[in-house]
């Protein structure tokens, strides 16, 4: 955050508010995150990743939500098939992350938007 110019150390620096605005999240979410009072949801993580210029994969790993083994970088992913060794399907990722059952379809739909399509 600091490397990206967000003054998060001083109360009146405006960095938390600016980061929240840039990420499209509430300032309280940024404050809770910095105080380690809560774990951001996927939408908050996505916004923060964009604002900070960090790949969402790295945000998920750095947060402790998933490990590098859960999100390998290699090969390709073809649609809904999880036949590439080491790849998790969006459904399996939702299960491993503990996404509530009633939100899993939404999680899968959103996650698939980030997957490269190969013919």
Position 48 in a domain: yes
Pick the more confident residue, 7 or 80: 7
In a domain, 92, yes or no: yes
pLDDT at position 76? 41
So what's the pLDDT on residue 79? 44
Q: Given this model, what pLDDT does residue 81 score?
A: 46
Residue 38 sits in which domain range?
1-55
Are residues 90 and 114 both part of a single domain?
A: yes
Mean pLDDT value across the chain:
80
72 and 91: one domain?
yes
Residues 83 and 114 reside in one and the same domain: yes
pLDDT tens digits, one per residue of 47-94: 988 998 888 888 888 888 788 888 776 544 444 444 455 677 888 888
CATH label of the domain that carries residue 1: 1.10.260
Does a structural domain hold residue 98?
yes
118 Cβ neighbours under 8 A, 6+ residues apart: 76, 77, 78, 79
Element (H, E) at 98: none
Report if residue 42 sits inside a domain: yes
Say how many domains are in the chain: 2
Is residue 60 domain-resident? no
């Amino acid at each position: 955050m600091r490397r990206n110019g967000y003054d998060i150390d001083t109360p009146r620096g405006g960095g938390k508010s600016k980061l929240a605005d840039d990420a499209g999240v509430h300032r309280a979410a940024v404050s809770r995150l910095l105080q380690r009072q809560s774990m951001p949801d996927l939408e908050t993580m996505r916004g923060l990743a964009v604002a900070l210029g960090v790949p969402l994969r790295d945000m998920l790993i750095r947060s402790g939500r998933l490990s590098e083994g859960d999100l390998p970088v290699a090969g390709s992913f073809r649609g809904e098939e999880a036949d590439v060794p080491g790849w998790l399907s969006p459904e399996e990722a939702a299960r491993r992350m503990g996404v509530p059952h009633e939100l899993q379809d939404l999680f899968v739909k959103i996650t698939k938007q980030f997957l490269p399509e190969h013919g």
